[in-house]
């Protein structure tokens, strides 16, 4: 079960805050991708994922986060059957952190997953909301 709440904040740039309450797994990851796709279509260029009440994140959750990041970079949304169509030729920014999507307050279990899978290298995490918003 996952509930997603969207809030729009304004720091140096407008930031859409997606709060995820519950569990991000194979059953719920597609909802996150769909909601983010809607936001992006409406013009959102930066997303902060509030994970303060996300009690579980499986590999599908990582796929969702990664997909949202790619969409923010201008890629086509992923095909729900798996994988996604790249519309860019190369990805020169691969070795740097993702600027467009950041994480707020991941709980220890989710933090562990981000750590283990190496995703922390690419996604900045914050434990302070204001600091997170200002960082965009």
Partner 1 sequence: MNPSDQQLLKDLARETLERYREINLLYRAAETIGASLDAQEVPRLLLAETERVIPSDRAVVLIGDAAPSDEWASEAPLISSVRATGRPDYNDAALCVPVRAGADVLGVVVLGRSIGGRANGRVFTAGDEKLLLGLASQAGVALERARLHEQETIRLRMEEELAIAHRIQLTLLPAHVPRIDGWDFAATYQAARHVGGDFYDFLDHRLGERRLGLVIADVTGKGVPAALMMAYSRAILRAEAMAGRSPLDVLANANRLIMQERQTRPFLSAFVAELDLDGGRLAYANAGHDAPLLISAGGRECRELEAPGVILGAFGDIGLESRDVALAAGDTVVMYTDGVTEARDPQGMLFGDERLAAAAVAGTLSGPADDVLGSIIDAVAAFTAGAEQADDLTIVVVRRLADSAGG
Residues that bind partner 1 (CB under 8 A): 25-26, 58-60, 62-63, 66, 79, 81-86, 91, 94-95, 109, 116-119, 121-122
Structure tokens at 98: 């993702």
Q: Which is nearer to partner 1, 8 or 26 (CB)?
A: 26
C-alpha dist (Å) from residue 75 to 6, 19, 87:
22, 23, 6
> What is the C-alpha radius of gyration for the chain, rounded to an integer number of angstroms?
14
Q: Which is nearer to partner 1, 3 or 14 (CB)?
A: 3
Sequential DSSP letters for 65-102: HHHHHHHHTTPPPBPTTS-B---SS--TTTTSPPSSEE
Rounded to a whole number of angstroms, the minimum distance from the CB of residue 114 to partner 1 is 10
Rounded to a whole number of angstroms, the minimum distance from the CB of residue 98 to partner 1 is 9
Q: Which is nearer to partner 1, 42 or 89 (CB)?
A: 89
Q: Which is nearer to partner 1, 115 or 134 (CB)?
A: 115
Rounded to a whole number of angstroms, the minimum distance from the CB of residue 88 to partner 1 is 10
Residue 104 phi, psi (nearest 5): -120, 125
């Amino acid at each position: 079960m996952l509930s997603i709440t969207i809030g729009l904040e304004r720091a140096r740039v407008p930031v859409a805050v997606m709060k995820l309450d519950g569990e991000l797994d194979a059953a719920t990851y597609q909802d996150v991708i769909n909601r983010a796709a809607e936001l992006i279509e409406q013009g959102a260029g930066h997303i902060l994922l509030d994970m303060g009440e996300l009690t579980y994140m499986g590999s599908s959750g990582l796929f969702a986060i990664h997909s949202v990041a790619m969409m923010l970079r201008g890629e086509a949304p992923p095909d729900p059957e798996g994988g996604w169509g790249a519309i860019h030729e190369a990805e020169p920014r691969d070795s740097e952190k993702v600027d467009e999507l950041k994480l707020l307050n991941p709980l220890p279990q989710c933090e562990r997953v981000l750590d283990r899978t190496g995703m922390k290298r690419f996604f900045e995490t914050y434990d302070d909301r204001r600091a997170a918003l200002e960082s965009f």
